[in-house]
């Protein structure tokens, strides 16, 4: 009996049966609200930047032409409504690359003709893999990594991900040894390695890559003749030193080398500007064949012309972008500091970080054993009892149990304080010596609650949370 649907429709490569999403489901059922549901679950698993909308709203109030689809007082609605050229609106691309340059301290320059617009970074990453790899080829990715990569890079492309294992022993930095090991693992599995994909600044670590790491990566891809994709979606969220170094800066030393054709950058406005709903992603490459192929593929997910138009006006306002970038960083820095110090007061430390919308939190000391089972056990307590949705390291493919990603930019300051209070209370209750009977019962309740989960994923299709958040 042949199958009614495709292999892709019936497999699990979309990755949405992962525990990462269970927490979201619980949150959806019982979301925290300061006044209406103060006992609800606080969402800390969502890497969104909600700190600077007021700046955008204020810009809008001063720029009414944009609202009316006008330019210099004349209506351009018709042209916008018709505009579906996959090359994108030239003024938008120009403004976008200038914004990217500004984020990099104007230390690099981007050519608007080398940028391809896509429906979010989700689409950018998938499109790049379609261009670089055949089904069955491997991409090496340092762990821990964004859970959505399993879907974005593998699902419809048929590519494989082989992890480059990073550990807490050196702050999860990439080492030459880890790179070689990953390459070898791929070879052992008979997989052809087509490239390395890194996220810089890192999700979930919140750290920027060091220059030695970047040089190491370049040496590696030169040696192996493979591609390097640098997902720089968080590049505008670097709020303290060390300063951000984009792969584009490192490339400048390679001037005319052939490797320039094999380094590509992915970007998006979802994190830096906090506009994930608008679906604005980009691929940047010096390889004109890739640009040509990716441009054609972008037909499957173009950016709405209405959105391109609005953003071209916003990002062309240099006074605004300068103010926004700096104010946004300041707010992220403060919020990050609140979370870190709050956790510190609860006896919990974080990986030292300078970017992103989250902290990489060390809860190894709270595990009953150094196992992933213990991590899941702890995580469920945090979701169901402490009522915080945070992301377990396992869902990010971390090789060490006990680490969690905790987001801080998607809530108000007050909510963050509530979350910190709850964590503190939890830690204190744990260190007081838990009543084994009670905690055992809790675990039993929790594990019995686990059983229906896999049914939920299919029976509640309309409550599935969008897995785009990072």
Shortest distance, CB of residue 21 to other proteins, whole angstroms? 11
Shortest distance, CB of residue 152 to other proteins, whole angstroms? 8
Shortest distance, CB of residue 393 to other proteins, whole angstroms? 23
Shortest distance, CB of residue 135 to other proteins, whole angstroms? 8
Specify the DSSP element, H or E, that contains 228: strand 227-231
Instruction: Return the number of other C-beta atoms located less than 10 Å from residue 319's C-beta.
Output: 8
Residue placing its CB nearer to other proteins in the complex, 263 or 339 = 263
Specify the DSSP element, H or E, that contains 199: strand 193-199
Site string for other proteins, 349-388 (x = CB under 8 A): ----------------------------------------
Give catalytic status of residue 233 as yes or no.
yes
With vertex at residue 211, the alpha carbon angle to CA 210 and CA 216, rounded to the nearest 5 degrees, is 100
Shortest distance, CB of residue 345 to other proteins, whole angstroms? 30
Residue placing its CB nearer to other proteins in the complex, 225 or 447 = 225
Give catalytic status of residue 271 as yes or no.
yes
Rounded to the nearest 10°, the torsion over CA 221, 297, 281, 109 is: 60
Give the number of residues in contact with other proteins, rule: CB under 8 A.
101
Specify the DSSP element, H or E, that contains 361: strand 358-362
Residues 275-294 that bind other proteins (CB under 8 A): 275-279, 287-290, 292-294
Among 4, 190, 253, 326, binds other proteins (CB under 8 A): 4
Shortest distance, CB of residue 299 to other proteins, whole angstroms? 5
Give catalytic status of residue 86 as yes or no.
no
139 scored as a contact of other proteins (CB under 8 A):
no
Q: Is the dihedral of CA 366, 367, 372, 375 positive or negative?
A: negative
Residue placing its CB nearer to other proteins in the complex, 265 or 382 = 265
Of 47, 53, 51, residue with least CA distance to 335: 51
Of 208, 219, 291, 226, residue with least CA distance to 253: 219
Q: What tokens appear for 114 in the block?
A: 């080398």
Shortest distance, CB of residue 79 to other proteins, whole angstroms? 5
Among 6, 35, 106, 190, binds other proteins (CB under 8 A): 6
Instruction: For residue 267, give every residue at least 6 positions away whose Cβ sits within 8 Å of its Cβ, in sequence order, or none.
Output: 100, 121, 124, 232, 233, 235, 281, 282, 284
Specify the DSSP element, H or E, that contains 248: helix 247-251
Cα-based distances in Å from 274 to 27, 54, 56: 21, 11, 10
Residue placing its CB nearer to other proteins in the complex, 243 or 412 = 412
Give catalytic status of residue 146 as yes or no.
yes
Residue placing its CB nearer to other proteins in the complex, 133 or 350 = 133
Among 19, 21, 126, 420, binds other proteins (CB under 8 A): 126
Is the CB of residue 421 less than 8 Å from the CB of residue 346? no
Site string for other proteins, 19-58 (x = CB under 8 A): -----------------------------x-x--x--xx-
Shortest distance, CB of residue 303 to other proteins, whole angstroms? 7
Alpha-carbon distance of 408 to 356, in angstroms, equals 9
Residue placing its CB nearer to other proteins in the complex, 69 or 384 = 69
Among 33, 79, 215, 428, binds other proteins (CB under 8 A): 79
Quote the strand ranges of 70-177, DSSP E.
70-71, 74-75, 115-118, 138-142, 160-164
Among 7, 169, 253, 433, binds other proteins (CB under 8 A): 7
340 scored as a contact of other proteins (CB under 8 A):
no
Among 34, 75, 170, 334, binds other proteins (CB under 8 A): 75
Of 50, 55, 53, residue with least CA distance to 410: 50
Of 95, 89, 131, residue with least CA distance to 110: 95
Among 33, 215, 428, 466, binds other proteins (CB under 8 A): 466
Q: Which of 20, 32, 145, 146 is catalytic?
A: 146
Alpha-carbon distance of 386 to 184, in angstroms, equals 42
Report DSSP letters for 311-345, one per residue.
HHHHHH-HHHHHHHHHHHHHHHHHHHHHHHHHHHH
Site string for other proteins, 149-188 (x = CB under 8 A): --xx--xx--------------------------------
Just list the catalytic residues.
Answer: 146, 231, 233, 271
């Amino acid at each position: 009996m042949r199958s009614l649907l495709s292999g892709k429709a019936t497999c699990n490569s979309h990755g949405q049966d992962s525990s990462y999403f269970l927490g979201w489901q619980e949150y959806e059922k019982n979301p925290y609200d300061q006044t209406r549901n103060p006992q609800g679950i606080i969402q800390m698993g969502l890497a969104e930047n909600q700190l600077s909308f007021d700046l955008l709203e204020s810009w809008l109030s001063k720029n009414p032409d944009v609202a009316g689809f006008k330019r210099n007082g004349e209506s351009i609605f018709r042209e916008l409504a018709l505009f579906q050229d996959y090359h994108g609106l030239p003024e938008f691309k120009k403004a976008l690359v200038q914004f990217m340059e500004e984020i990099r301290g104007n230390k690099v320059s981007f050519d608007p003709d080398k940028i391809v617009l896509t429906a979010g970074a989700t689409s950018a990453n998938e499109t790049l893999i379609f261009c670089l790899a055949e089904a069955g080829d491997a991409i090496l990715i340092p762990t821990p990594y964004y859970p959505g990569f399993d879907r974005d890079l593998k699902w419809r492309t048929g590519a494989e991900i082989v992890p480059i294992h990073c550990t807490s022993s050196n702050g999860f930095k990439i080492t030459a040894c880890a790179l070689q090991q990953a390459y070898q693992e791929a070879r052992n599995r008979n997989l052809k390695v087509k490239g390395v994909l890194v996220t810089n600044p890192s999700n979930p670590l919140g750290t920027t890559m060091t220059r030695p790491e970047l040089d190491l990566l370049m040496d590696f891809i030169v040696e192996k003749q493979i591609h390097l994709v640098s997902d720089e979606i968080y590049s505008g969220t670097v709020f303290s030193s060390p300063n951000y170094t984009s792969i584009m800066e490192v490339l400048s030393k390679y001037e005319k080398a052939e490797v320039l054709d094999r380094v590509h950058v992915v970007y998006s406005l979802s994190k830096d500007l906090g506009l994930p709903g608008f679906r604005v992603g980009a691929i940047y490459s010096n390889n004109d064949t890739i640009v040509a192929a990716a441009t054609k593929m972008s037909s499957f997910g173009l950016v709405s012309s209405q959105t391109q138009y609005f953003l071209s006006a916003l990002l062309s306002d240099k006074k605004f972008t300068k103010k926004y970038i700096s104010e946004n960083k300041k707010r992220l820095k403060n919020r990050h500091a609140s979370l870190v110090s709050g956790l510190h007061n609860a006896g919990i430390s974080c990986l030292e970080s300078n970017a992103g919308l989250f902290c990489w939190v060390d809860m190894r000391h709270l595990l009953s054993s150094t196992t992933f089972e213990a991590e899941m056990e702890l995580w469920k307590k945090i979701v169901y009892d402490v009522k915080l949705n945070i992301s377990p390291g396992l869902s990010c493919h971390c090789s060490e149990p006990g680490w969690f990603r905790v987001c801080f930019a998607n809530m108000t300051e007050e909510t963050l304080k509530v979350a910190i209070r709850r964590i503190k209370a939890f830690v204190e209750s744990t260190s007081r010596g838990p009543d084994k009977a009670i905690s055992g019962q809790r675990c039993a309740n929790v594990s019995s609650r686990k059983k229906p989960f896999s049914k939920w994923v299919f029976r509640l299709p309309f409550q599935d949370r969008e897995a785009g958040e990072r």
